[in-house]
Chains A and B, each alone.
Chain A
């Protein structure tokens, strides 16, 4: 071949495979396109191109979990509407309460959960409790929540990948004869992944999987898992559960256990999920993904002691596990051991993690562990690495350093800068409000505190501060309202309770 050109050339198909192996996926697809132009019936290059295109948008399905508003609020899958304490992920407050961090020490996320040291897709903000909260949540620019998961990231990715191809999609799924492909196992699996991940056409993917699993007499566990994946995306969790259990009878795989637990988590049965994880651990001892799964559930149930114990076990098997290190570090930071947290974050730095988040955390740990020489360097690095999304948090934390060293002017500027880069930063509003209170600017303080309370009704600080401010100027009624709201957010807050008893005495005296 290619003898006429005089130069030696690689066989194009072999070249394409080599590109694929080196993850130069675009080049691979390009070479395959050329091959397919010469011979449209070339199955090998068709298969390879399909795989290359899939690989470009492939994300591990176990990790992806995005809940839309519709799924969250019109969720009729949950078994109990009023779950017993410690058995539901929906009401994080209902934990048994051992080692649960209080909002007085550890900030809360929008869902009323303590902030985590690690974000995964789907667990970013948890479930909001009410419709009002859910609808308000997506307004904050950084955590846009889709209306349903069907309109979420997946669709956006799918359509975008189609748009960037000038002469239409590579495979026209509507024209495919799916039953014909289902008979050819070698092509069907590749095609399924393409339809599912690249085109994001779950319904056709499901049809193909159903036909293919029939073709192999329901004996191939792989197809059962794919069926379950499709059912899960379509919101048919019980069907997904059935398929996965059937797949487990055929083959013991870590992956299948993980999917099954994902289904149970969506059904809001965390304890069942933990049981499944434990059963899987008997078969695959020391598997870190399973251990991490249990730890995450404990974390979401507010049981930090158990979660940290499990994360430590994860580190015993895999000492470069970023999630475990980050979560343990966060736990130590908020339990008054910044110097230990510092060691964990330093470990992350050694491992090659290099981003604004890490340097901010290092800076905070250094400051609170009284290693002042490193603090400002870390924050400078963090600022230079920060993107638009996390810039506000970096400034917010620098503001705390400024408060710590008593430079109120700098602190004020930092919090204002945090607000400049993110208009919805409730914590920064609250802190600016407090600084204004100190300066004696009552009206401005009130405006900032109200803004904070409006943006984050779950936080107790703005309510409490607003209550104090109102008390000071003699507006007892609004003070009472605010303090009550503060106690809703943090029922054990002793200062709020004191103010409330004082208010009650005042009211009684009237």
Chain B
């Protein structure tokens, strides 16, 4: 069986000119899969945001009170 196997021969053109030209191309950065956030991280972030807002609110209230007196 083995000797009946077809043997492929490479075909090289003998006539004409063969050009291969490689020009380096600029590269784009790859698409970025966005990482999912862990529950802990999300909780930390919401807590931080809430804390910041609470502080801001308090400061504003203090400012308002300061304005009236």
Contact = CB atoms under 8 A, between A and B. Distances in A.
B36 A427 contact: no
Given A153-B48, A156-B51, A358 B36 contact: yes
A164 interface: yes
Contacts of B25: 495
B1 interface: no
6 A-B pairs closest in CB distance: A160-B51, A427-B29, A63-B40, A357-B34, A400-B31, A326-B36
B38 A430 contact: no
B52 interface: yes
B67 interface: no
A403 B28 contact: yes
A17 B24 CA distance: 70
B37 A495 contact: no
A118 B51 contact: no
B34 A499 contact: no
Given A107-B30, A427-B29, A163 B37 contact: no
A107 B41 contact: no
A430 B35 contact: no
A452 B47 CA distance: 33
B15 to A, nearest CB: 30
Nearest to A64: B40
10 contacts: A63-B38, A120-B41, A153-B48, A156-B51, A163-B55, A355-B37, A368-B31, A400-B31, A431-B28, A468-B24
Nearest to A323: B38
Nearest to B32: A107
B26 A468 contact: yes
Contact of A357 (B36, B40, B54, B55): B36
Interface string A120-152: 110000000000000000000000000000000
B63 to A, nearest CB: 15
Given A64-B44, A121-B41, 18 more contacts: A57-B47, A107-B29, A107-B30, A115-B35, A121-B40, A156-B48, A164-B55, A330-B33, A357-B34, A361-B33, A361-B34, A397-B31, A400-B28, A403-B28, A428-B29, A464-B27, A465-B26, A495-B27
A364 interface: yes
Nearest to A334: B33
Given A163-B55, A434-B26, A495-B24, A393 B44 contact: no
Contacts of B24: 468, 495, 498-499
A118 B32 contact: no
A361 B35 CA distance: 9
Given A119-B35, A163-B54, A59 B26 contact: no
A431 B28 CA distance: 5
A119 B44 contact: no
A464 B26 CA distance: 8
Interface in A324-359: 326, 329-330, 333-334, 348, 353, 355-358
B60 interface: no
Interface in A451-510: 459, 461, 464-465, 468-469, 495, 498-499
Contact of B32 (A115, A160, A348): A115
A101 to B, nearest CB: 11
A107 B55 CA distance: 38
A45 B47 CA distance: 25
Interface string A426-456: 1110110010011000000000000000000
A105 interface: yes
Interface in B8-62: 22, 24-38, 40-41, 43-44, 47-48, 51-52, 54-55, 58
A161 B54 CA distance: 9
B38 A360 contact: no
Given A403-B28, A434-B27, A461-B27, A364 B44 contact: no
Contacts of B31: 364, 368, 397, 400
Nearest to A66: B44
Nearest to B40: A63
Contact of B34 (A164, A360, A426): A360
Contacts of A115: 32-33, 35
A379 to B, nearest CB: 12
A164 B36 contact: no
A119 B38 contact: yes
